[in-house]
Structure 1
């Protein structure tokens, strides 16, 4: 089973035009920060087309340090600098897998492309960015049309106001990067597909079915992706915005999930995902209790250097044990039954 991927079009990274209002510039910066932060969390889930860099250059929208500094000065934005933002964009371009690699498809010859609603940039002079936009949507549609595809992939546009776009086109020819994944149809072929669309990380991750990904996961990366989706959905429900603190798996965490059936039972899976999301977001704290060195209420809380041991109620029967680590990071240690007050220390 492979991770769903989130395809960023080039316009998400392209520098705003000089006449863009300050609110649009701030939104651009905050979205870049959010996408860049994912490189340290779930990098394989975000992909960018190999055409993106050239599309930004050809549209005169490449975010160089000088242009970013000029943009920030013109809006009197002092909390960021061009070099830092440029470094974030470079990391996204250099460290994310390519869309072409993710789909196993490279160049294609198409005609009669349409998308409804149209999520492309509407202004004249941005033809290269529109080409990248169409390229991304066609790759996602073709990937979704393959018989082995079991995940929904998502497209991120810089201007979208919709959650779904209907894409159709005629495919005349295509080159595959993977000889083991031939296109399962004769050409020419009429392709049509409904593609989920988002404009930021919160809407992107909340678009996926976290529980389904969790229950069908075959790797730690897929479990982490499911948790990211659950966190986004919970954040949306509670009206929380802003950066999400980091979380990691303890050595025994996944094994404990498997042994207690949390990766097989729909009911326990949903409850466990919700408990993890609430823990990362520091919500519903009355459901948490310090794990102590003894049975008395005045016994000291268990510590591991600068980390503190905690227990969150999943329901009456099951509980999540975790470490609140220095640096405001959460280590998910184990899922346990009601009378188990142990916590793995590694």
Structure 2
């Protein structure tokens, strides 16, 4: 069995009509985040797909020291786990190969609407994802510079994107662009043609639908404390779903999403519950400490009253001179006053 380092595993859509030639092209990240690399897209069967990297058995970073000690994982100089994959031809297993790489690529459907949202908020640029949740940033919204305030056909929008945005839009067919516009733009029909105008209200409705779809597909193993009331659990789910969109939308779109009445209500309920619950925990701890202190005092273990130290005064006793009757005693007779 041969060992190769050049090849890697790529999972493409399963279809009997798979073409031998698929053109993969770079496309700007929809988050307008400068720290994010470009996407890798391809068009197949009239759909847009994105190639994403996944790793075999990559451990969490906080367990790296433990894994090194137990030799569960081994890492290279770049901090990547050292793994290999077996590539087997089921028709002829003698043609199998071992690929010395822990990374493989999977193709997933890409929603072009996110890229159109990025164009609408083209001046909203972030340096990192930490900026999204930093304190004091939610109120710093920039004025949106619209792509075009007129209703345009999909072809006109396509031409405008090529002129004012990125040349990679040339790889997007008009019919797929029209599908994306239908999700985040107002539309009107005139003379048999459909005209579009990207609108912030439509974008927010679309993002809210995405949030609710994420919530419906959350796994049952979602780490939400079971002791939370049902209403607070739901509020936390909305907050978590919004945060999952951080890698897909510009920072100003995220700020607008958080300020939607439904999301604001969820954030308010969750924060208020945490505030009240934190105070309740403090009060309960104070009562517990007080009860423990009283119990220990009753057993005489601590806080015993120390006996007061008695200071005895030392009195000096003077010796009394005895007056006798001897011959010399008469000499020391007391004189009468």
* TM-score of the aligned structures, taking structure 2 as reference length: 0.26
Larger Rg over CA atoms: 2
Select the structure with the greater relative contact order (CA < 8 A; seq sep ≥ 6).
2
TM-score by length of structure 1 reads 0.26
Q: Which protein has the bigger strand share? A: 1
